[in-house]
């Protein structure tokens, strides 16, 4: 993976971290169904972060040989 792609993935990961923090903060201020929806958003963000981690891990394995 060219360096610029890796940088883009790391930037996206950082954006997702910010989104997760915002969603957590929102969830803390909610109750009932609204809290469940906010926590659902957090879960989806975490799934996206895991996918990015997988791509970065595969790239690292390729570089190592």
Whole-number Cα distances in Å, 58 to 53, 55, 65:
9, 5, 11
Judge whether residue 3 has pLDDT over 80: no
pLDDT at 6: 84
* 5 band by pLDDT with thresholds 50, 70 and 90: confident
pLDDT at 1: 56
Count the domains in the chain: 1
Residues of the domain holding 32: 3-64
What the block records as the tokens of 17 is 């971290």
């Amino acid at each position: 993976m060219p360096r610029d792609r890796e940088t883009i993935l790391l930037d996206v990961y950082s954006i997702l971290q910010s989104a997760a923090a915002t969603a957590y903060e929102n969830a803390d201020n909610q109750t009932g169904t609204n809290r469940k929806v906010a926590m659902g958003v957090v879960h989806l963000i975490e799934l996206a972060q895991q996918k990015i981690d997988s791509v970065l891990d595969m790239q690292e394995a390729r570089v190592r040989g």
